[in-house]
Amino acid sequence: FIYPINYGYIEGTKSADGEELDVYILGVFEPLNTFTGKVIAVIQREDDNDPKLVVVPEGIDYSNEAIMALTEFQERFFKSNIKRGSI
């Protein structure tokens, strides 16, 4: 697959689907092998038990609308909600 944004997983974690916890990385436009950043949101899918972290470099934030627009290439197939704050 070719993704328009950086997408990966956190090694050593397990999500509810039994796989590693998936991550959308926003605000970095070159391909990455590894990344350290700040979680600003979680995309929770109502019809799929596979949450996605939304991670950005320090000092960057995105609105919920921008997050949904940037992840639409994948999230359009699911009913998704953005969760922020104490999750």
pLDDT at 65: 97
pLDDT digits (tens, 9 = 90+) for 18-61: 899 999 999 999 999 999 999 999 999 998 888 999 999 999 99
What is the number of domains present in the chain? 1
The CATH number of whichever domain residue 40 belongs to comes to 3.90.80.10
pTM given for the model: 0.90
Sign (positive or negative) of CA dihedral 31, 84, 10, 78:
negative
Residue 1 belongs to a domain? no
